[in-house]
Each structure stands twice: as structure tokens, then as C-alpha cells.
């Protein structure tokens, strides 16, 4: 029995162990199969470990938002009080593109042909005197018609080539009308200039007895102003009284010698009468000690509209060159007073930037492209780069634009030593410059626009030209800015 019981028990034991082993395997397989689908809640320990990393992430996100908000505040304070102002600037930049395209379509005159017309118009008024002198010296019977016929033929060729340009046709027809008037009134002009010729011959005879002035003038004083110098409170009448040797219109030339240089001084001007008087007080004696044949033009913009300094300088250049055969033009800011008369206003071979060291800028050149302030340039170089751009409405950057034009055509800009080219800037209220986005857009395309934007495309009305004792006053109406340029 015990044996039977033991055997039976062993059988039961073995069977129970085998069944338990089977159940355990089945349980393990079922657990393996259901492991992926176990959706029991995460334990509290695991959740506590993740909370710290989440908080750190939120903290860094908060710092990022704060930083972006600070950058946005600085950005809006610098470029505008709100984004609507920025959007307005973008719209004006788009209008600038449209305006420049319109100017390119309707206002383009080929620069080489414009220079030809300008030269014809410039020298027409001088032709009468030259013809009369030539006809008497050579004892020939050459008529005005014979000399002017080639000019008429050339203008006819231009009309045929550019018959679609209204502006060009009007200019050419204006020249032709003046040429025809000269031909028709041949006898009248000869009679009119007979007395002028005699005076011209006498003056030439007197000049032949004089020698040219010395290359280095003898009466220079060197530096006559320093950092502590003050400016006298003088009136324009007092200056006129002291310089009675200056001819009407602000012109002077030495009487003891023949000047080596013929210089036009152009001062763009607006609402700075006190500055103008101070500049004239110092400029006239400097130019006379340098023994120059010079004339001063003050080009003022009429009205209270947006200022356009470039158009004023282009207009004064055209007027001055039509009056006299100047060898160079000096564009001079009204608030800069030279400290040293060894800084020569004579005509150099290359364009010369004269205001290298200004007290307002600690007598240092702030950047290489700077040629503003006082700039000296020959007419041929000025016409080659087409003068100043007319698109800079407001204050600033038209001088930088001229630098890029000169650089594009490989015309070198020279500078005298900073120890001599020193200027004092008169105290004045700083004007708000034009929007930088607009200036940067124009400067970026400066080298590409010179063929159609400049002195050849300047649009203005000469309201008046009055010869005062110390200067010639030109009153210029520059019109209104195109859309996007205001």
C-alpha cells in the first residue's frame, strides 16, 4: 500500500510538476505576447523623474521668449515705432523702383549725345566774339553760315537718330533755332561786336605784357585758425566794403599776373544766411591770396519742399560753365570754414577731396568713400560721370553716390595732407537724414545709373540769377519728388 501510495504520489507529483511547468510556460508566452499592449498607468517614480526635465525645458523656452521680445523692442525703437511704419517704408521702396523705371523710359537721353548738345549750347554765346576776332586776324571773308553749317548738319543727324525722344528733339530744335538766328543776323552781330572786339584786343595786349602767376603763391599765411578760434560777427555790407576789388557777381582775378587756374565755387544753400556771411568773409581773401581767377555761385532752393542738394549743384554747374570757361568746379558746403590757406583751391589733374580733416569729426576721415564737404573736380570728369544723381531727396548720400561713379569709371580721387586740409564746422542744428533703406538702395545701384541719372537729366526751373557784389545768387525750383522719394 505504501508502495502503491508512494508510486501514486510520485505520479501525481510528476504530473502536477509537469502541469505547473506547462502553465508557467504558457503564462510567460502570454506575458510576452501582451507586453506591447500593456496600458497600465506609469508608476509615480517614473513621472517624478520626468517632471524636472519638463520644467527645465519650459524655463529655457521662457528665456527664449524674453530674449526675442527684447530684440523686438530694440528693433522697433531703431527702425520705427511699429510694424506699420516698416510696411510703409517697404511700399515706398517699391514706388521708388516704379519711379526709376518710369524715369528710365521717359527721361533717358544718351549721355554722349547730351554732352554734345551741352557743348554746343555752352559755346554758342562765345562764338560771336571768337568769330569776329578770327575773321579780322586772318583777313578772310568766312561767314557765320560757313562755320555753323557743320553744327546744323550734326543736329539734323541727331534728330534722325532719336526721333522718338521728345526731350532730345526739343533740345536739338532749340539749338537749331539759335544757330539760325546767328546766321540770319550776321551783319547785326558783326556790328554789335566791333566795339567788344576792340576792348578784347586791348585787354589781350595788356595781358601779353603780364606773366603768369607763380605756381606757389607768395602771400599765403598758412594756418590762421585753430581749435580755439572764434568767428567774428560781421555783416554782409561790411564784407562788401572791405572787398571792393571783387567784381559784380563775386568774380575776381589778379591784376599783377595772369591766373593759372579758373575756378568756380558752388555753394548749395538753404536757410543758412549767417553761415554764408561767415564763409564769404574767409573765402574771398583765401582765394585772392592763392591768385586764382574765381567766381562764387550760391545756389539756393526755392520754397520749403524736400531738399535736393544734387539738383542745386547740377544746375549751378550748367549755369557756371555756360558763363565762363572754368577749368574746375569746387562744390563747397556753406558750414565749412578752411583753417589753412595752403589747402589750394586750384584745379588738379584728378578730382580732389579737400575737407579731409573736420573738427566735428575729430580731424579724421571717417570712411574712404567720403568726398562730401568740399570737393574739387574738372568739368570733363564731372560730365564723364554725369554729375550728381538727382534721386537723393532729403539730406545725405549724394556725395557717396558720386564716389561710386568715379570708382566705376576708374577716376582716382586724391586728397591733400590732413595737416593742411583742415576745416571748422559752424554750429548748426543737425537735420534729419533721409531713410537709410532708401539711401542704401540708391547707393547699391549708383554705378549702374550714371548713364541716365545725373546732370543730363536734371529737371529744374531757374527762377532768378542775380549778380550781387560778393556772389551770384541762383534761385532754383527743383520741383517735387517722384512717388516713393519723398
Please determine, for residue 453, whether its predicted confidence score (pLDDT) is greater than 50: yes
Domain co-membership, 272 together with 170 = no
Residue 429 DSSP symbol: P
Which pLDDT score is estimated for 444? Answer: 83
| Cβ contacts of 120 within 8 Å, gap of 6 or more | 151, 155, 175
Grade residue 11 by pLDDT with cuts at 50, 70 and 90: very low
Q: Choose the final residue of a domain: 179, 202, 225.
A: 202
Domain co-membership, 164 together with 278 = no
State pLDDT tens for residues 59-82: 888 888 888 877 766 655 554 555
Q: Which of 28-37, 199-208, 262-271 is the least confident region?
A: 28-37
Domain co-membership, 182 together with 296 = no
The answer to whether position 45 is within a domain reads: no
3-state secondary structure of 172: helix
Grade residue 333 by pLDDT with cuts at 50, 70 and 90: very high
| Cβ contacts of 332 within 8 Å, gap of 6 or more | 265, 266, 267, 279, 283, 374
Domain co-membership, 277 together with 167 = no
The answer to whether position 61 is within a domain reads: no
Please determine, for residue 144, whether its predicted confidence score (pLDDT) is greater than 80: no
- Contact between residue 261 and residue 346 where contact means Cβ atoms under 8 Å apart: yes
Residue 356 DSSP symbol: -
Percent of the chain scoring above 90 in pLDDT: 41
The answer to whether position 68 is within a domain reads: no
Please determine, for residue 89, whether its predicted confidence score (pLDDT) is greater than 60: no
More confident position, 455 or 37: 455
Which pLDDT score is estimated for 3? Answer: 45
Distances (CA, A) of 461 to 170, 399, 476: 16, 23, 6
Please determine, for residue 36, whether its predicted confidence score (pLDDT) is greater than 80: no
Which pLDDT score is estimated for 247? Answer: 95
pTM for this model (two decimals) = 0.69
Helix (H) or strand (E) holding 424: strand 422-425
The answer to whether position 167 is within a domain reads: yes
Nearest partner of 265 among 479, 474, 124, judged by Cα: 474
More confident position, 466 or 36: 466
Domain that residue 419 falls in: 236-477
Q: Which of 103-112, 132-141, 272-281, 464-473 is the least confident region?
A: 132-141
Instruction: Specify whether the backbone of 139 is left (phi greater than 0), alpha (psi in -120 to 50) or beta.
Output: left
Q: How many CB atoms lie within 10 A of CB 320?
A: 21
Residue 304 DSSP symbol: S
Which pLDDT score is estimated for 306? Answer: 87
Quote the CA–CA distance of 238 and 354 in Å, as a whole number. Answer: 28
Q: Which of 93-97, 229-233, 295-299 has the highest mean pLDDT?
A: 295-299
Which pLDDT score is estimated for 108? Answer: 63
Quote the CA–CA distance of 168 and 118 in Å, as a whole number. Answer: 11
3-state secondary structure of 480: coil
Average pLDDT score over residue span 45-63: 72
Which pLDDT score is estimated for 64? Answer: 85
Domain co-membership, 144 together with 282 = no
Q: What's the chain's average pLDDT?
A: 77
Backbone angles phi, psi at 409, to 5 degrees: -100, 15
Please determine, for residue 4, whether its predicted confidence score (pLDDT) is greater than 50: no
The answer to whether position 274 is within a domain reads: yes
The domain tally of the chain equals 2
Average pLDDT score over residue span 293-322: 93
Looking at residue 454, which CATH number applies to its domain? 3.90.550.10
What is the number of alpha carbons within 13 Å of residue 372 lying toward its C-beta? 20
Q: Which of 282-291, 301-310, 337-346, 350-359 is the least confident region?
A: 301-310
The answer to whether position 80 is within a domain reads: no
Amino acid at each position: 500500500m505504501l508502495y502503491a501510495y508512494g508510486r501514486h504520489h510520485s505520479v501525481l507529483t510528476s504530473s502536477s510538476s509537469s502541469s505547473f511547468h506547462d502553465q508557467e510556460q504558457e503564462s510567460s508566452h502570454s506575458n510576452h505576447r501582451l507586453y506591447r499592449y500593456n496600458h497600465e498607468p506609469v508608476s509615480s517614480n517614473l513621472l517624478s523623474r520626468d517632471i524636472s526635465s519638463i520644467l527645465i525645458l519650459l524655463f529655457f523656452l521662457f528665456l527664449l521668449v524674453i530674449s526675442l521680445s527684447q530684440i523686438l523692442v530694440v528693433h522697433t525703437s531703431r527702425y520705427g515705432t511699429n510694424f506699420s511704419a516698416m510696411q510703409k517704408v517697404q511700399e515706398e521702396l517699391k514706388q521708388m523702383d516704379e519711379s526709376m523705371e518710369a524715369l528710365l523710359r521717359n527721361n533717358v537721353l544718351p549721355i554722349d549725345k547730351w554732352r554734345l548738345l551741352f557743348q554746343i549750347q555752352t559755346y554758342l554765346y562765345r562764338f560771336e566774339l571768337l568769330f569776329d576776332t578770327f575773321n579780322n586776324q586772318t583777313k578772310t571773308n568766312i561767314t557765320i553760315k560757313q562755320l555753323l553749317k557743320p553744327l546744323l548738319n550734326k543736329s539734323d543727324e541727331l534728330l534722325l537718330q532719336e526721333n522718338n525722344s521728345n526731350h532730345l528733339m526739343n533740345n536739338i530744335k532749340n539749338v537749331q533755332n539759335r544757330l539760325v538766328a546767328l546766321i540770319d543776323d550776321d551783319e547785326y552781330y558783326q556790328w554789335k561786336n566791333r566795339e567788344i572786339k576792340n576792348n578784347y584786343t586791348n585787354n589781350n595786349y595788356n595781358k601779353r605784357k603780364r606773366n603768369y602767376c607763380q605756381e606757389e603763391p607768395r602771400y599765403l599765411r598758412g594756418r590762421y585758425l585753430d581749435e580755439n578760434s572764434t568767428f567774428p560777427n560781421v555783416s554782409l555790407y561790411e564784407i562788401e566794403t572791405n572787398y571792393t576789388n571783387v567784381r559784380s557777381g563775386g568774380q575776381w582775378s589778379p591784376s599783377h599776373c595772369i591766373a593759372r587756374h579758373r575756378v568756380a565755387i558752388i555753394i548749395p544753400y538753404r536757410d543758412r544766411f549767417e553761415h554764408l556771411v561767415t564763409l564769404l568773409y574767409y573765402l574771398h581773401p583765401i582765394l585772392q591770396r592763392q591768385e586764382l581767377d574765381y567766381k562764387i555761385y550760391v545756389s539756393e532752393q526755392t520754397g520749403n519742399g524736400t531738399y535736393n542738394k544734387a539738383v542745386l549743384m547740377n544746375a549751378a554747374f550748367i549755369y557756371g560753365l555756360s558763363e565762363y570757361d572754368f577749368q574746375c568746379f569746387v562744390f563747397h558746403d556753406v558750414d565749412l570754414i578752411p583753417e589753412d590757406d595752403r589747402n589750394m583751391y586750384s584745379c588738379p589733374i584728378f578730382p580732389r577731396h579737400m575737407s579731409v580733416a573736420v573738427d566735428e569729426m575729430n580731424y579724421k576721415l571717417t570712411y574712404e568713400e567720403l568726398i562730401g564737404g568740399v570737393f574739387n573736380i574738372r568739368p570733363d570728369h564731372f560730365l564723364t560721370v554725369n554729375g550728381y544723381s538727382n534721386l537723393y531727396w532729403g539730406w545725405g548720400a549724394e556725395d557717396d553716390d558720386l564716389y561710386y561713379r568715379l570708382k566705376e569709371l576708374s577716376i582716382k580721387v586724391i586728397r591733400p595732407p590732413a595737416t593742411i586740409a583742415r576745416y571748422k564746422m559752424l554750429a548748426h542744428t543737425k537735420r534729419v537724414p533721409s531713410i537709410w533703406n532708401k539711401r542704401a538702395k540708391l547707393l547699391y545701384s549708383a554705378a549702374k545709373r550714371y548713364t541716365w541719372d545725373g546732370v543730363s537729366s536734371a529737371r529744374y526751373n531757374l527762377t532768378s540769377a542775380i549778380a550781387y557784389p560778393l556772389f551770384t545768387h541762383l534761385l532754383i525750383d527743383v520741383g517735387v519728388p517722384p512717388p516713393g522719394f519723398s
